[in-house]
Amino acid sequence: MKHIKDRDKYIKLVEWSKKDQCYVGSVPGFIGPCCHGQNEADVYQELCDILDEWIHIHTTENIPMPEATAGKEFSGKFILRINKDLHKILSLKAMQANLSLNQFCEKLFEKTVLNKKVA
């Protein structure tokens, strides 16, 4: 059985930054943007090293670790609090589209967050 490293419990992102014109590494929910460079693989390795250091610090100083993010299961639901006026407008637009409020908001999220074309 393969031994899982503590760092394997966290999602690590290496993304191209148009603004900075380089790759930037982060660990969502744990470490913000913390390393950058022109080579994606090098940035990923540096990110892993930084994460290992942070885990070591948390462990040796008895600082609670953030919740693991890799392999996390999502229920497909969450509670979103919005102001009453926005709730009213969304509800009316959902009715106009002959959709439930949930379906309407899901389509909005798909369109804006996932950049999907929505019918």
CATH number of the structural domain spanning residue 16: 3.30.160
Q: Are 46 and 25 in contact (CB under 8 A)?
A: yes
CA atoms within 13 A on the CB side of 63: 9
What would the pLDDT profile of 91-103 be if each residue is shown by its tens digit? 999 999 999 999 9
What is the domain extent for residue 40?
6-60
Domain tally, the chain? 2
1 in any annotated domain: no
Phi, psi torsion values for 35, nearest 5 degrees: -155, 155
66 in any annotated domain: no
Please, where are the H alpha helices in 27-98? 40-60, 84-96
What would the pLDDT profile of 8-19 be if each residue is shown by its tens digit? 999 999 999 999
Lowest mean pLDDT among 20-29, 34-43, 100-109, 110-119: 110-119
